[in-house]
Structure 1
Amino acid sequence: MRVRLDLLLDCPADAAWEAVHSPAVFREVSGPITTAESLEPGGFPDRWPGGEHRVRLRMLGVLPMGTQVIRLRDETRLDGTRVVHDEGGPLSGAMTVVTGWHHQMAISPNPMSPETRTRFHDTLDVRAGLLTPFAWLGFAVFWRLRGRQIQKLAPGWAAQFGASPTGAAGSGESTAAGGAA
């Protein structure tokens, strides 16, 4: 089943692109419902590189939910939309009821105000066998709360990530890097 948010963010697309590549932003928009701890040597990087990243998840910071792999790759579509894909999934714990996971965050400038606003499509396709409707309901609630956090934080992203309304912020897009806000 699919959970989807279509948001208009008050920041340039380059800033949103950098934000979805930030483990710090990932942790901010996941909390306080879910907390994540990196299981990689050295902890979370400053910016997500492509590939796999293992995390330990807790609900409300105390209830163990298990471990999950975040498997990232970037895509730039022909229309210029940039997409971060996470095709990882649960490795242990309660989250292993989820048998299929594909999270996509699509970013493009808003046509009406391309220098200051961003179209953000946040989509999760999730499968959990017979438990799919219940998993979908939990993720739907979580995604709505996550969307509120994203909209709240987005106005500060241009300053936080050094994005200017007319220029790229940081390393731009490629087909091999990744992110997971």
Structure 2
Amino acid sequence: MRVLLKTVLDVHPDQAWRALRSPAVFGELYGPLLRMRPHTALPTVWADGSRATVSMSAFGIVPLGRQRIDIRLQSDRPDGVRIVADVGGPETGPLSALSGWRHRMAVAPAPGDAERTLYRDELRIGGPLAPLLWPALWLGWQLRASRLRSLASGWDEDSGPDGVDTAEA
């Protein structure tokens, strides 16, 4: 099963790419509904091969389980699309009943307006409980789209949300 999100962000694709690789963005996308608490130190910028483990909770109160983050980056495609793939997945909690967790986020210039970003987000899930969990995940992706559009207005050329520096060294 798939959960898809496609939206245009009012931010340059380079800014979206920097912000997308920021762990701060991961944490803010679901706030305040979901909170992430790192078990391992998070990098300032996700790099290819970055790994982390976080606990998720609803409103910072109700435990939802532990999630493994395992980042793969693809930024050299000839079509200009840049992809962050999280090949980790849920380790505990209700989402651990899913199999085949694959999460990919892509940014590219928006059609007809290279100063804006076409953002695509896909989650592929499997397992016997996927049909039951899909509606909640779909709703989460809709909230994610709203938060992305809201947060993108605060990203400038050298920073992600709230001024977090995400420029490459």
> 1:26-37, aligned counterparts within 5 Å?
26-37=26-37
Question: Which one scores higher on RCO, CA 8 angstroms, separation ≥ 6?
Answer: 1
Kept after mapping to 1: 8 A contact 2:7/2:120: yes
CA distance in 1 between counterparts of 2:56 and 2:74 reads 27
- Given the alignment of the two structures, is residue 151 of structure 1 paired with residue 127 of structure 2, yes or no? no
Runs of 4+ more than 6 Å apart: none
| Contact 1:39 1:55 survives alignment (8 Å) | yes
Q: 2:133 aligns with which of 135, 154, 159?
A: 135
Asked if 1:170 is matched to 2:162, the reply is: no
Aligned match of 1:38: 38
Alpha-carbon deviation of 1:132?
0.9
More strand by share: 2
Number of the residue aligned with 1:56: 55
SS of the residue corresponding to residue 49 of structure 1 reads coil
TM-score by length of 2: 0.89
Which one-letter code corresponds to 2:63 in the other structure? P
Aligned length: 162
Deviations 1:147-180 (A, max 9, x none): 1000111122125628xxxxxx8339xxxxxxxx
Residues 1:160 and 1:171: Cα distance change in structure 2 (over 3 Å): closer
Closer/same/farther in 2, CA of residues 80 and 159 from structure 1, 3 Å limit? closer
Describe the shift of the 1:155–1:120 C-alpha distance in structure 2 as closer, same or farther (beyond 3 A).
same
Q: Write the letter of the residue equivalent to 1:64.
A: P
| 8 A contact 2:158–2:167 mirrored in 1 | no
Partners of 1:44 and 1:170 lie apart in 2 by 16
Residue 105 of structure 1 deviates from its aligned partner by 0.7
1:88 maps to amino acid = G
RMSD of aligned alpha carbons = 1.8
User: Displacement, 1:93?
Assistant: 2.4
Q: CA deviation at 1:3?
A: 0.7
The reply to whether residue 2 of structure 1 matches residue 2 of structure 2 is: yes
Alignment of 1:3-22 (within 5 A): 3-22=3-22
DSSP-derived class of the 1:161 partner: coil
Distance 1:11 1:2 in 2: 26
1:49-83 deviations in whole A, cap 9, x for unaligned?
Answer: 33221111111211111111111111132311101
Q: Gaps spanning 5+ residues in structure 2: where?
A: 161-165
User: How many angstroms apart in 2 are the aligned matches of 1:35 and 1:160?
Assistant: 25
Aligned match of 1:92: 92
TM-score after normalising by structure 1: 0.83
**Take 1:133 and 1:31, find their aligned partners in 2: how far apart are those partners?**
25
Structure 1's unaligned 5+ residue stretches are 163-168, 173-181
Where does residue 175 of structure 1 map in the other structure? none
User: 1:72 is matched with which residue?
Assistant: 71
